[in-house]
Structure formats: structure tokens, C-alpha cells
Chains A and B, each alone.
Chain A
Amino acid sequence: ETGVTQSPTHLIKTRGQQVTLRCSSQSGHNTVSWYQQALGQGPQFIFQYYREEENGRGNFPPRFSGLQFPNYSSELNVNALELDDSALYLCASSLWASETQYFGPGTRLLVL
């Protein structure tokens, strides 16, 4: 059974640029959630996708957007990058929206 995978592992961007992060869910899981973890903080919920539809959103501006594909993999897009967007971005998948979430290794984004 393949776990949650994320790409890329590291990324450096400059302020104002756009970035796309990718996540492949664990086999059989139809729900993907995205979290942002700043240094010294716990992960913060960005949004969740269940069967290709957004199923809840945290307190993040609209420049954070996402997609889920028919194979349940997902993308997180961030437009107009700001310095404060520098963080570890974590993807988690679950069997259903209300089930235990299993995390990938994360993508570390640095915005200069």
C-alpha cells in the first residue's frame, strides 16, 4: 500500500510569483486535506477536498486555491506569494472526509 506522497520536497520562489504543490493520496482514499505549518507552530487547516469538491476551508485568503482530480490526487495553488507564505505545506488523505487523516512528508516552500 502506497502512502501519501508530495512533490516537490523543497521549493524556492520570489515574492509575487505563483506556486503549485502536488499530492498523491494513499491508495483507496478519496479525501485530501491541505495544511500550512509555519516554524514553531502546529499545522493550520487550509482546505479539504472530498470527491473533487471543496469540503471546508480554513482562514486563508482566496489566493490559496486547490483542485482534486478523478484519481483523488490534489494540487494546492498559491498566487501572489508573500514572504509569510514560507512554511511546510502538508497534505493528508483519508478514507472518507470524517476518517483519520494520514500525512505526507510535506513540501518546504521558501519565499524570498
Chain B
Amino acid sequence: DQQVKQNSPSLSVQEGRISILNCDYTNSMFDYFLWYKKYPAEGPTFLISISSIKDKNEDGRFTVFLNKSAKHLSLHIVPSQPGDSAVYFCAASAQQGGSEKLVFGKGTKLTVNP
């Protein structure tokens, strides 16, 4: 039973345009959400996070939106750059439930074309 789902295995966008990566979750106990970026042969790199008490968090070109009623979050990258090409993982945790483990989706491979 996959609690965090990234239904798009891949996404291709043009440089300068917006990239939107989506993530759905099923466990209502999740209260903290993160996005990681992973290049080949490297570990995941933390990008941005959001707590369930917020619906939006921005950091430079990256914005994460959280819709708790729909159990959906998205990562917007504006403008997209070729260096953003990587696999993006959505992760969730239930911190207030006492569990700090991260539950990951399967990832979305983003390709930004010059």
C-alpha cells in the first residue's frame, strides 16, 4: 500500500517555463512534507519543506503548495533551468505521531530542455 504517490514517472519542460511536479498521499497522519532532488550517483538533496499548518512555502525559484483536503501537494519551479534536470522525490512524515521516518514516493524524472 503506497502512502505517497507520484503518478508521473517523467516530465519534460522547456528552459524558462514552469515545472509542476505533483504528489498525492493517503495517510491523514502525515503533517510534514518535503521535496528532495536526486542526481545520478548522488544522494537525495533537500529542496524545500512544508508543515501541514501552512498551504504554501517559497524558497527562491521553488514553491510548494499543500492542499490538505485533497491530500495533494505540488512543487513549482519557475523559471526551470537545465540544471534542474534530476529525479524529484516527494516525502512525508507524521512527526506529531512520534514517527520521524520519511515515506517517499517513487519519484518523477524532470528533464529541462535548453
Contacts and interface: CB of A to CB of B under 8 A. Distances in A.
Interface string A58-94: 1000000000000000000000000000000010101
Contacts of B41: 105
Interface stretch (B14-22, B56-64, B70-78, B94-102): B94-102
Interface in A1-51: 4, 6, 31, 33, 35, 40-45, 48
A55 B45 CA distance: 23
B30 to A, nearest CB: 13
A105 B38 CA distance: 10
Nearest to A101: B102
A45 B101 contact: yes
Contact of A100 (B34, B43, B89, B104): B34
B103 interface: yes
B106 A41 contact: yes
A98 B106 contact: no
Given A56-B99, A56-B101, A40 B46 contact: no
B107 to A, nearest CB: 6
A4 B89 CA distance: 19
A58 B101 contact: yes
A26 to B, nearest CB: 11
Given A42-B106, A100-B34, A103-B36, A56 B100 contact: yes
Given A44-B104, A56-B100, A98-B100, 20 more contacts: A4-B43, A33-B102, A35-B104, A40-B106, A41-B106, A42-B4, A42-B89, A42-B104, A42-B106, A43-B102, A48-B100, A48-B101, A55-B100, A92-B43, A100-B34, A100-B46, A103-B44, A105-B42, A105-B43, A106-B43
